[in-house]
Amino acid sequence: MKLKEVSLRVVIVSCIALALSWASVRYAPVLKLSFVPMFIVVTILSALVLMVQIVVRQFGHYIFGVISGYEFTSIQLLNWVMVSSEYGIQFKRYHVPRINGQCIMKTPDVELDELPYTLYLQGGNIANGILTLFLTVIVLNANLDMMKQLILVIFIIMGLVVLFVNAVPHGLFINDTEAVRTLRRSIQARDAYVQLSGFYREQFDFSDRSHSFEFRSYPIDLVDNYYAFLVNYYYLYQKRLEIGWNECLIHLKELQGIDVRIPYVYRMQLELEINYLQMRMSQEVPEETEQLKRYINGVMYSPQIVRYLYLKSYVQDGELNDQLYKHFEIVAAEYPFILENEMEREIMNILKDELA
């Protein structure tokens, strides 16, 4: 991690700690507690309030997405996601690392030059901003008791934190403001953005039908934004059986070498995919990075991880690794939609036949 990123993280955490410390000192008489117990109480309240701000944020994306003509796909909060499928609204267990809340909607069917994206992407910031401003006005003007003031002040602090993280282009990760800038700058990014919205619409339809969405990839030397990166990545993911394992590995390594800032989760999936293919062709387990180990043992389960664990359980030391295979079975049982895609089932059948 770059020194600038580390320094910025330290500054952000320090500012949050100072704000919560001030609230602990200012409102300690409410619960008649000393500083340390009061700080713990304030911290717990802040975590709960943060969840509320995230919910407000996602519904802000939803409301302004509907205003912009988008079609609802899913809203995620922590490990759960509410999805719109052919069976109506469903609730599923699903999580993406480092993303505690996410609203996904399908773009309207318009020309790329007319594509609305600013209101939808900034809808969460607008919702958090309106709520934070409204509560600030109440705290400054209303005659509230100390307990109510404390709760509202925590709402304001967490609202400002969420706004800074998602509205200010700080460089720690790709937030809503940076996404808007990317789409405004590149027609290729807008085309890829539309493709991804259609793909996610099918990915979150946890029905038994096979996903049929077809990506259009971009020349590797012209990919200059993370939306196009993701389209090319998913394109290879879809075409791997057609183009062959060796060719797919070559293209994935080319994609890995692109100098474009990509969200953490996709860099890890790409690394996992490359390791998986290398392992599949050589029947040897490649050395894992610390990041990859954390990713595999973390909270995100994807088709890449399922395939990786399955194959690794066979090639580890040349024989079946019972512990890894049990891990694979647990993941596949907990997240059955991972293998509902027709291509996923075909790949797993190929592996079973070849390793039998």
- Rounded-to-integer distance, Cα 327 and Cα 308, Å: 11
Q: Specify the pTM.
A: 0.77
The CB density around residue 306, as the number of other CB atoms within 10 Å, is 20
Give the max Cα distance, the chain. Answer: 74
**Residue 348 pLDDT:** 62
Contact predicate 73/92, CB 8 Å: no
Q: Residue 93: beta bridge partners? A: 80
- Rounded-to-integer distance, Cα 91 and Cα 71, Å: 18
Q: Which two tokens stand for residue 297?
A: 């043992």
| pLDDT in 10s for each residue of the chain, 356 residues | 455 666 777 777 888 888 888 888 888 887 787 888 888 888 898 889 988 998 899 999 999 999 999 988 777 777 677 776 666 676 666 655 556 677 888 889 888 888 899 999 999 999 999 999 999 999 888 888 888 888 898 999 899 988 988 888 876 778 888 989 989 988 999 999 988 888 877 766 655 444 567 788 888 888 888 888 888 888 887 777 777 778 888 888 888 888 888 877 778 778 878 887 887 777 666 676 766 666 666 655 566 666 666 666 666 555 666 666 666 666 666 555 555 555 556 656 666 665 55
- Rounded-to-integer distance, Cα 262 and Cα 227, Å: 9
**Residue 60 pLDDT:** 93
Q: Residue 90: beta bridge partners? A: 83
Q: Which two tokens stand for residue 21?
A: 């410390």
**Residue 202 pLDDT:** 72
Contact predicate 95/79, CB 8 Å: yes
Q: Residue 176: beta bridge partners? A: none
- Rounded-to-integer distance, Cα 302 and Cα 309, Å: 11
Q: Which one, of 224, 219, 150, 214, lies nearest residue 183 by Cα?
A: 224
Q: Which sign, positive or negative, has the C-alpha torsion 119, 120, 122, 123?
A: positive
Q: Which amino acid is at 198?
A: G
- Rounded-to-integer distance, Cα 310 and Cα 9, Å: 37
**Residue 209 pLDDT:** 47
Contact predicate 306/341, CB 8 Å: no
